[in-house]
Structure 1
Amino acid sequence: MTTKLGLGIPMPLLAPSTATWAIPFAAYYIFLQNRVVLHRLSTKTYMGDNSSPSKSTSDPLYKSSRCQVNFIENVPLALMVALLAELNGANRTYINYGLGALFALRVSHAEFGVMSEGSLAMGRPVGYYGTQAVITGLIGYVGYLVQGYWST
């Protein structure tokens, strides 16, 4: 698989699976970011969220901000580990399954968990624990792929 740079120079695709999944992750992040901005503008809250701890599970700005922050806390690490796996010879099918599952889990966590009434719907623990499992699996896979490097 190759692509052509702007000059028509053939260049091998180094990590097409990770690159492909970066597109929906980036698009969903933009959605999360715009939802926060929408709530900031509608409430004229330009810094912070002005929610009290007792009202935070019902405050749309607070919940939107948490969805965005939770996403940005987990997804970059997962994409970096997936990229390292792919660059070190990972089976691209495994990368696609892992990142596809991660995308579904992050959407589940935000849309069917944090954004739900009371922020405690089933999507939240499923998304959280599933995300941890995917990242752990990717890390283990990278370790497996590079194990020969440390034993020589």
Structure 2
Amino acid sequence: MLPVTGTFLPAFAAYYVLLNIRVSVHRVATNTMIGTDTSKKSSSDSKPKTSSSAEQELIVNARVHANFIENVPLALLVASVVELNGGNGKVIGTALASLLFFRIAHAEFGLRAERAMGWGRPLGYFGTLAWVFGMSTYAAWLVKGYWSW
């Protein structure tokens, strides 16, 4: 019933897995299983466990992962609603490809850039907001006849 959205799910899932693994690897490497404060001292060692750059990397990876989780599920739900209500498959496919681009740009060329301020951050942020608004408007337009207005 959702062939276009279903086609894009593996790409979004693969990127989600990559983001998740990055956080897990940094958590294990810094022995920071909860939160992002890597400077806590262990009971058997008087030296801090990690440097501030390792903490910064954990913070960035955790935020990139969380930001994906904050935005993508709603967007995929919107795409599914559009598709279930007869939206044009080419429009949906193009939209989902652009959403994936926005999310990757935001993370890889935005938050993971120097000082977390790369070109991808505003592009990904505003692109995702416009995407959700535009596609949800398309979803509403597709069902306008239901309300008989």
What is the CA–CA distance in structure 2 between the aligned matches of 1:19 and 1:51, rounded to whole Å?
A: 39
What is the CA–CA distance in structure 2 between the aligned matches of 1:50 and 1:107, rounded to whole Å?
A: 26
Q: Confirm whether residue 38 of structure 1 aligns to residue 25 of structure 2.
A: yes
Please report the RMSD computed on the Cα atoms of aligned residues, expressed in angstroms.
Answer: 1.6
Q: Which of the numbers 118, 128, 135 marks the counterpart of 1:121?
A: 118
TM-score of the superposition, structure 1-length normalised? 0.86
Q: Which of the numbers 69, 73, 88 marks the counterpart of 1:91?
A: 88
Secondary structure at the counterpart of residue 33 of structure 2: coil
Q: Is the Cα–Cα contact under 8 Å of residues 51 and 59 in structure 1 kept in the other structure? A: no
Aligned residue pairs total: 136
What is the CA–CA distance in structure 2 between the aligned matches of 1:80 and 1:39, rounded to whole Å?
A: 30
Question: Which runs of 5 or more residues in structure 1 are unaligned?
Answer: 1-13
TM-score of the superposition, structure 2-length normalised? 0.87
Secondary structure at the counterpart of residue 141 of structure 1: helix
Using the aligned pairs only, state the percent identity.
Answer: 46
Name 1:7's counterpart in structure 2.
none
Name 2:6's counterpart in structure 1.
19
Name 2:34's counterpart in structure 1.
47
Q: Confirm whether residue 80 of structure 1 aligns to residue 77 of structure 2.
A: yes
Secondary structure at the counterpart of residue 59 of structure 1: helix
Q: Find runs of 4+ consecutive structure 1 residues off by over 2 angstroms.
A: none
Q: Is the Cα–Cα contact under 8 Å of residues 82 and 95 in structure 1 kept in the other structure? A: yes
User: What letter is aligned with 1:83?
Assistant: S
Shift of 1:117: 1.1
